[in-house]
Amino acid sequence: MSKTANALGEYLRARRELIDPALVGLPVVGVRRTPGLRREEVATLAGISADYYLRLEQGRDRNPSPQVLEALARVLRLDEIATEHLLSLTAARPAARRPRREVVPAGIRQLLEVINVPAFVESRSFDVLAANRLAEAVSPNIRPGLNRLRAIFLDPGEQALYEDWEKAARGLVAGFRASVGSDVGDPRIAQLVGELSLASEPFRRLWARHDVTALAGGTLRLRHPSLGPLELRREKLPLTDTGGQILALYHAEPGSESARALDLLRSAPDGEPRGVEAG
C-alpha cells in the first residue's frame, strides 16, 4: 500500500457525503446533521454489515473483495472510471514504482516540432515535460518545468484564460485523481497536493470531493489576451511505455474564427500575434 494512511476510507466517505438520500429511495425525515448518506445506510444498501463498512472507512480493513467494492460503487452511483479508481485503492493492488526522472521519447519530441497545432507532453502528475511554440503561445504555463495544476490554481493570468474557470479547475482535479490513482502517497504527488491544499481554498474543496473523470478529449473555451475568444478541441493520447505520459493536442474546427486565430499564431515568428481583426 502507498504511504497514504487511508485512501480507500477517505474516498468512500467523500462519495457517501455527496449522495442525496432521496436519490437512492430513502425517506428524509427531520434535519440531518451531516450531508449525504449515513454509514449504516450505505452498508444496508450494499448488503454488508454496518460494522464491516465502518472498518472500511476507518482503514481497519484494506482488502475488501471486488464484489463488495462493486456493490459499494452501485450505492455511491460511481461511473465506470470512478469504480476503477475505487478498485485501485485496495491493498491488493499496490501502485508500481516509476523512475523519478521522466524522459519524453525522441520521436515524440520531433513530432512536437513538426506538428502544426499546439501540442505538449505532460506527466501523470500534470508536469509539462515538452511543448511546441504554438502551445506556449496559447498559454505561457504550457512549457517544460511548469505544472498545469499549480498554474490553474495559483496563477491569476492562467485563471483569466478560461471562460469558465470553475468548470476547468474541477475537470483538471478530477482528471488528476484518475491519473495518479492510488499513488497519492508518492512523495512528489503528495508535495504538490500539500502545497495546493495550503495555498488554494478552491483546490482544497475540489480535492475533498474525490471526483474522478477519464483523461479524454473535450472542448476548451479560452479568452486569449491577444487573440480573443478561442474554442479549441482538446485531445489526450496516452504514450505507451512512458509511465503515464500524455500527448495533448489542441485544434480548431476548420474555417472557424478559432482556426483563423491559430493561423495567426503559426505566422507570428516571435509567438506574439497582434490579434484577430474584426469582421
What torsion, rounded to 10 degrees, do the Cα atoms 173, 174, 175, 181 define? 100
How many CA atoms lie within 13 Å of 181's alpha carbon, on the beta-carbon side?
21
pTM listed for this prediction:
0.76
Q: Can you tell me the distance from the alpha carbon of 267 to that of 60, in angstroms, rounded to the nearest whole number? A: 60
pLDDT at 278 over 60: no
Question: Domains of the chain by range and CATH?
Answer: 7-88 (1.10.260.40), 106-267 (3.30.450.180)
pLDDT digit string, tens, across residues 197-251: 988 999 999 999 999 988 777 899 999 998 999 999 999 999 988 888 999 999 9
pLDDT digit string, tens, across residues 44-94: 888 889 999 999 999 988 889 888 999 899 899 998 889 989 998 886 554
Q: Which of 261, 95, 125 shows the shortest CA–CA distance to 189? A: 125
Segment 172-177 mean pLDDT = 93
What grid cell was written down for 49? 454489515
